[in-house]
Amino acid sequence: MNENLQALVARAESEFFPWVVDGLTVETDEQLKNANDLLGIGKHIEKTFETQRTEAKAPILAEGKRIDEEYKPVQARIHLAVSLIDRAVLDFHKKKKTEADALQIMQLQEEAKKIEECKQTGEVYQPAEAIVKPVTQTVHGNMSTTSIVESFDYEIIDDDAIPRELCSGDLKKIKAKHKYDHLPVPGVLITPKTHTVTRLG
């Protein structure tokens, strides 16, 4: 504890705290004058404490700011580079998923045609093996593993439209319902989002 703080604590302990008792009340003019003096002392000590506290930590905050400024330029470049790579990975994942979805639709259409043909000819329908593989959600590199995480953002846009069973805006219940049935929720804007989680090693 530095000398200035020690002096302030000693002053508070001798001039202020002893006179502040539980259940302090003002019932006479004399007590009002005493309470007024005590209030002045207390407020002055409180203000002095705050001033000294601010002055004491100023050099530390200045050093923290200097360190931030030293790190920020390269940190910003790294963040930009990571964002560019992240976007490229997500774009490729989206492309692969779109291709897989289109292929699956084509396969289902072909299957529907074959089923119809078998009905016409009386042949026994033999379902084809699935040719569409699900798009992997995990990418394994030589040194790191990245998971593609698909989730949703939820924003309440009309509280009155939300069903009563969801307590008019209980986001926890709204998310649980949507996760369960994948159906829209009245009054809630649900936006899909995709991000990466990467572990080195």
Q: How far apart are CA 53 and CA 43, in angstroms?
A: 15
Q: How far apart are CA 17 and CA 11, in angstroms?
A: 9
Q: Which residue has the higher pLDDT, 167 or 179?
A: 179
Beta bridge partners of 148: 196
| Residue 76 pLDDT exceeds 90 | yes
Predicted pLDDT at 165: 77
| Residue 123 pLDDT exceeds 70 | yes
Share of the chain above pLDDT 90, in %: 30
Q: How far apart are CA 35 and CA 146, in angstroms?
A: 66
| Residue 187 pLDDT exceeds 60 | yes
* Residue written as token pair 């930590």: 57
Residues with Cβ within 8 Å of residue 93, at least 6 apart in sequence: 135, 148, 194
